[in-house]
Amino acid sequence: MSIRPAIQGRLEALDAMLAHWLAHVRHPAQFWPQFENLAAEILDHCTDTEREQVCALIEAMLRRHPLELPPWHQRGDDVPPGS
Protein backbone atom coordinates (compact mmCIF):
# COMPACT_ATOMS: atom_id res chain seq x y z
CA MET A 1 0.00 0.00 0.00
CA SER A 2 1.26 3.46 -0.75
CA ILE A 3 0.86 6.54 1.35
CA ARG A 4 -0.42 9.88 0.13
CA PRO A 5 2.13 12.29 -1.33
CA ALA A 6 1.47 14.87 1.39
CA ILE A 7 2.32 12.36 4.12
CA GLN A 8 5.37 11.14 2.19
CA GLY A 9 6.56 14.73 1.84
CA ARG A 10 6.25 15.32 5.58
CA LEU A 11 8.19 12.13 6.30
CA GLU A 12 10.96 13.17 3.90
CA ALA A 13 11.18 16.60 5.52
CA LEU A 14 11.39 15.04 8.99
CA ASP A 15 14.14 12.69 7.82
CA ALA A 16 16.07 15.58 6.29
CA MET A 17 15.87 17.50 9.56
CA LEU A 18 17.26 14.62 11.61
CA ALA A 19 20.88 15.00 10.49
CA HIS A 20 20.76 18.75 11.13
CA TRP A 21 19.21 18.35 14.58
CA LEU A 22 21.63 15.65 15.62
CA ALA A 23 24.58 17.80 14.57
CA HIS A 24 23.38 20.87 16.46
CA VAL A 25 21.40 19.69 19.47
CA ARG A 26 23.60 19.28 22.53
CA HIS A 27 21.47 16.77 24.41
CA PRO A 28 18.82 14.19 23.41
CA ALA A 29 16.38 15.81 25.85
CA GLN A 30 16.30 18.80 23.50
CA PHE A 31 15.80 16.65 20.42
CA TRP A 32 13.06 14.19 21.39
CA PRO A 33 10.23 16.60 22.26
CA GLN A 34 10.52 18.30 18.86
CA PHE A 35 10.83 15.02 16.97
CA GLU A 36 7.89 13.48 18.83
CA ASN A 37 5.70 16.51 18.14
CA LEU A 38 6.42 16.44 14.43
CA ALA A 39 6.05 12.66 14.17
CA ALA A 40 2.77 12.77 16.09
CA GLU A 41 1.51 15.52 13.77
CA ILE A 42 2.28 13.35 10.75
CA LEU A 43 0.52 10.38 12.33
CA ASP A 44 -2.50 12.55 13.15
CA HIS A 45 -2.92 13.24 9.42
CA CYS A 46 -2.69 9.55 8.45
CA THR A 47 -5.66 7.48 7.51
CA ASP A 48 -6.16 4.27 9.47
CA THR A 49 -4.72 2.32 6.56
CA GLU A 50 -1.58 4.51 6.37
CA ARG A 51 -0.79 4.59 10.08
CA GLU A 52 1.00 1.23 10.40
CA GLN A 53 3.16 1.87 7.34
CA VAL A 54 4.04 5.40 8.49
CA CYS A 55 4.98 4.12 11.97
CA ALA A 56 7.30 1.59 10.32
CA LEU A 57 8.86 4.32 8.17
CA ILE A 58 9.45 6.53 11.22
CA GLU A 59 11.07 3.62 13.06
CA ALA A 60 13.31 2.89 10.04
CA MET A 61 14.23 6.58 9.90
CA LEU A 62 15.34 6.50 13.54
CA ARG A 63 17.40 3.34 13.05
CA ARG A 64 19.35 5.01 10.19
CA HIS A 65 20.70 7.70 12.51
CA PRO A 66 23.13 7.24 15.41
CA LEU A 67 21.10 8.33 18.40
CA GLU A 68 19.92 7.06 21.73
CA LEU A 69 16.33 5.92 21.34
CA PRO A 70 13.76 6.99 23.95
CA PRO A 71 12.05 4.42 26.21
CA TRP A 72 8.79 4.48 24.20
CA HIS A 73 10.71 3.43 21.07
CA GLN A 74 12.72 0.75 22.85
CA ARG A 75 9.47 -0.78 24.13
CA GLY A 76 8.05 -0.79 20.61
CA ASP A 77 5.29 1.71 21.44
CA ASP A 78 3.97 4.26 18.99
CA VAL A 79 4.98 7.88 19.32
CA PRO A 80 3.38 9.08 22.56
CA PRO A 81 -0.01 10.70 21.98
CA GLY A 82 -0.06 14.44 22.41
CA SER A 83 3.69 14.64 21.94
Q: What is the pLDDT along the chain (83 residues), one digit of tens a residue?
A: 689 999 999 999 999 988 788 778 767 777 788 888 999 999 999 999 999 999 999 989 988 876 766 665 554 555 555 44
- Asked if 80 and 41 touch (Cβ cutoff 8 Å), the reply is no
Please tell me the predicted confidence (pLDDT) of residue 31: 79
d(CA 60, CA 37): 18
Please tell me the predicted confidence (pLDDT) of residue 15: 92
Domain residues of the chain, as ranges?
A: 5-74
* CA geometry: angle 43, 31, 83, nearest 5 deg: 35
